[in-house]
């Protein structure tokens, strides 16, 4: 092992025995790209204006919409063969050429491991389907897939010499930002609704972020972060308000494609809040197609799943609108998808429509039921956000929009352990000072 990969391997070697991609290529040495960075420019997702990727950007200055990172896909196709992945560690950084990183020494990482795709036969039997998989993102640092986006955003902030970052959060984004900022030695400011799950509040505090509880929603927190930019000199890493969190979330798409041996599943169900993950995966599939890495041009249908307690994307989909209306009042125990207005609404809806998918909401009241059903059938600790995907699956199977023979992938975006509030059951007590009442056990 030589070159820049050497430093990236530290701390990752525990995965070598279980990950086949550690084989060496035919020359006997791991592939080492002569050129790491293929970014050409940034481009507005709405008006198409182009910007210099060597400068710090938030939203498009012209129209206040999100920016895409664009790559020289023709050069990548020539210089980044699939076999380049052989011998690389099982982390998100194995896709380095498809990422915006300029210098591997600037990477801020807690080892963002490749997350397992678990075949769930008991759940499949429950729903009467053949192939049901769960990609378990709860294994990532800070217990949710927000680690992917924040690892990338903080890496790029580090590259640009940014010292102070801030974000509004529904919960997990704050926790992840706080952790990566701590890892990079940056100052972090987190603003969250005062009813954010208590674990999220404490993880931000523990990671040393200046953490504030706001008597409003994430949109109110977002306004505060925006206003503080000038006053406090922090960089705003809000969802889609800087270009790099999408690139981090894009690794979900790259990764699942590789795990499925470049044959994408037929359907992907994804709990949608700000939508970075869904948008990122869709971008990943387009880039992989341009590279010629996919075995078939057929893309998965993206199912954007929400709760009836906060369903702006599902409502816009129903009305055939490209932009979503702010959803009020927004109330769901699935805090990660309590996003009443998403800046990337049109990007989510475009991705859903392009692939022939749907956006739909399932009843808020069913969330604990699905959490328990899925967790107890398979032992996977499913977060309340993912619970809505099971509600959606049931509906779409009934409507015939998903066929029982299809390959279905559900994202478990976070760890159930972070949501004690979502489980209300009182457990029975045993009095150990008295004879045990065995008939009650
Ligand atoms: C943030 C979050 C979501 C929503 O993700 P987006 O990519 O912003 O749509 C879903 N689940 C969990 C656990 C989250 O933290």
Q: Is residue 335 part of a domain?
A: yes
Q: Are residues 251 and 363 in the same domain?
A: yes
Domain boundary among 106, 131, 154: 106
CA of 336 to the centre of ligand 1 (A): 5
Residue 24: pLDDT over 80: no
8 domain-assigned: no
The verdict on 75 and 167 lying in the same domain is: no
Q: What is d(CA 179, CA 167) in angstroms, rounded to the nearest whole number?
A: 13
Residue 35, token pair as written in the block: 């050129």
Which residues have a Cβ under 8 Å from the Cβ of 196 and sit 6 or more positions away? 169, 170, 171, 174, 213, 335
pLDDT at 76 over 90: yes
pLDDT at 26 over 90: no
CB of residue 172 inside a 6 A radius of ligand 1? yes
- CA distances 183 to 3, 9, 23, 111, Å, are 23, 17, 31, 11
pLDDT category at 10 given cuts 50, 70, 90 is very low
Residue found under tokens 């927000």: 146
Residue of 310, 327, 306, 348 whose CA lies nearest to 65 = 348
Whether 322 and 403 map to the same domain: the answer is yes
- What domain range is 220 assigned to? 146-236
Q: How far is the CA of 172 from the centre of ligand 1 (A)?
A: 8
For residues 275 and 156, membership in a common domain is answered with no
Rounded to an integer, what distance in angstroms lies between the CA atom of residue 100 and that of residue 351? 22
> Does the CB atom of residue 196 touch ligand 1 within 6 A?
no
Q: Is 337 near ligand 1, meaning CB less than 6 Å away?
A: yes
pLDDT of residue 91: 97
Average pLDDT, the chain: 92
Q: Is residue 329 part of a domain?
A: yes
* Of the candidates 332, 416, 427, the residue with the CA atom closest to the CA atom of residue 376: 416
Query: Average pLDDT of 136-149?
Result: 98
Do residues 276 and 401 share a domain?
yes
User: Residues 204, 302: one domain?
Assistant: no
Would you state the pLDDT for residue 370?
96
184-242: per-residue pLDDT in tens?
999 999 999 999 999 999 999 999 999 999 999 889 999 999 999 999 999 999 989 99
358-367: pLDDT as tens digits:
999 999 999 9
Q: 78 and 189: one domain?
A: no
Residue 18's pLDDT band, with cuts at 50, 70 and 90, is very low
Domain end point (choices 84, 106, 128)? 106
Instruction: Answer yes or no: is the C-beta of 265 below 6 A from any ligand 1 atom.
Output: no
pLDDT of residue 34: 44
Going by alpha carbons, the residue nearest to atom 10 of ligand 1 is 336
The answer as to whether 32 is a domain residue is yes
Is residue 6 assigned to a domain? Answer: no
Which tens digits make up the pLDDT trace of 323-358? 999 999 999 999 999 999 999 999 999 999 999 999
Q: What are phi and psi of 185, to 5 degrees?
A: 70, 30
Q: How many domains in the chain? A: 3
The structure tokens listed for 233 are 């000199």
Question: Are 87 and 183 within one domain?
Answer: no
User: For position 165, what pLDDT does the model report?
Assistant: 98
Residues 210 and 290 in one domain: no
Pair 195, 170 in one domain: yes
**Atom 6 (ligand 1) nearest CA:** 275
Where a domain ends, among 205, 236, 267? 236
**Residue 10 within a domain:** no
Distance from residue 313's CA to the centre of ligand 1 (Å):
14
Query: Is the confidence at residue 157, as pLDDT, over 60?
Result: yes
Q: Is the predicted pLDDT of residue 246 greater than 90, yes or no?
A: yes
Residue 437 lies in a domain: no
End-to-end CA distance of the chain: give it in Å, rounded. 57
Higher pLDDT residue, 61 or 31? 61
Q: What is the pLDDT of residues 266-313, one digit of tens each?
A: 999 999 999 999 999 999 999 999 999 999 999 999 999 999 999 999
Query: If you write DSSP's letter for every residue of 8-41 in order, what string do you get?
Result: HHTTTGGGGGG-GGG---TTSS----S----EEE
CA-nearest of 253, 265, 303 to 114 is 253
Question: Is residue 15, in this structure, part of any structural domain at all?
Answer: no
CB-ligand 1 contact for 332 (6 Å cutoff): no
Q: Side-chain half-sphere of 422: how many Cα atoms within 13 Å? A: 30
Kindly tell me if the per-residue pLDDT of 411 is higher than 70: yes
DSSP track, 48-104: --EE-TTS---S-TTT---EEEEE-HHHHHHH--GGGGTT--SBGGGGGGGS--S-G
Note whether 322 and 217 are same-domain residues.
no
Q: How confident is the model at residue 250 (pLDDT cuts 50, 70, 90)?
A: very high
pLDDT of 16 reads 32
Burial profile 87-116: b = 16 or more Cβ within 10 angstroms, e = fewer: bbbbbbbbbbbbbbbbebeebbbbbbbbbe
Instruction: Kindly give the interhelix angle for 367-378 and 384-398, rounded to the nearest 10 degrees.
Output: 90
pLDDT of the residue at 205: 97
Contact predicate 130/124, CB 8 Å: yes
Is residue 111 scored above 70 in pLDDT? yes
Across residues 81-92, what is the average pLDDT? 94
We report the CATH number of the domain holding residue 386 as 3.40.50.1100
pLDDT value at residue 29: 35
For ligand 1, atom 13, the nearest C-alpha belongs to 414
Q: Are residues 64 and 203 in the same domain?
A: no
Query: In the prediction, which pLDDT does 264 show?
Result: 98
């Amino acid at each position: 092992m030589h070159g820049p990969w050497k430093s990236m391997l530290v701390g990752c070697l525990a995965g070598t025995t279980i990950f086949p991609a550690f084989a060496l290529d035919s020359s006997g040495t791991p592939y080492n790209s002569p050129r790491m960075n293929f970014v050409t420019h940034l481009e507005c997702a709405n008006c198409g204006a182009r910007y210099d990727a060597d400068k710090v950007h938030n939203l498009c200055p012209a129209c206040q919409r999100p920016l895409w990172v664009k790559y020289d896909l023709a050069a990548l196709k020539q210089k980044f063969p699939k076999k380049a992945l052989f011998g690389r560690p099982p982390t998100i950084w194995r896709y380095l050429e498809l990422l915006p990183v300029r210098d591997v020494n600037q990477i801020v990482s807690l080892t963002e491991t490749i997350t397992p795709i678990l075949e769930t036969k008991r759940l499949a039997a429950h729903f009467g389907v053949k192939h049901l998989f769960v990609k378990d993102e709860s294994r990532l640092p800070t217990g949710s897939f927000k680690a992917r986006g924040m690892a990338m955003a903080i890496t790029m902030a580090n590259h640009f010499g940014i010292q102070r970052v801030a974000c509004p959060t529904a919960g997990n984004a704050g926790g992840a930002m706080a952790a990566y900022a701590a890892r990079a030695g940056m100052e972090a400011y987190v603003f969250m609704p005062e009813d954010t799950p208590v674990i999220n509040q404490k993880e931000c505090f523990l990671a040393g972020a200046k953490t504030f509880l706001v008597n409003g929603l994430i949109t109110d927190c977002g306004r505060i972060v925006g206003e503080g930019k000038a006053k406090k000199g922090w960089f705003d890493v809000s969802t889609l308000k800087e270009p790099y969190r999408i690139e981090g979330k894009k690794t979900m798409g790259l990764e699942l494609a590789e795990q499925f041996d470049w044959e994408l599943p037929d359907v992907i169900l994804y709990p949608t809040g700000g939508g970075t993950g869904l948008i990122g995966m869709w971008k990943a599939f387009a880039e992989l197609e341009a590279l010629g890495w996919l075995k078939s041009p057929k893309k998965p249908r993206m199912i954007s799943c929400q709760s009836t307690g906060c369903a702006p994307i599902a409502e816009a989909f129903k009305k055939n609108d490209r932009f979503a209306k702010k959803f009020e009042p927004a109330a769901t125990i699935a805090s990660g998808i309590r996003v009443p207005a998403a800046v990337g609404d049109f990007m989510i809806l475009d991705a859903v429509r392009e692939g022939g998918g749907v956006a739909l909401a399932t009843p808020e009241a069913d969330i604990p039921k699905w959490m328990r059903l899925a967790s107890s059938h398979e032992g996977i600790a499913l977060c309340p956000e993912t619970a809505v995907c099971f509600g959606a699956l049931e509906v779409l199977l009934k409507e015939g929009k998903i066929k029982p023979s299809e390959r279905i992938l559900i994202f478990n975006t976070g760890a159930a352990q972070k949501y004690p509030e979502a489980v209300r059951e009182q457990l029975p007590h045993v009095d150990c000072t008295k004879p045990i009442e065995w008939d009650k056990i």
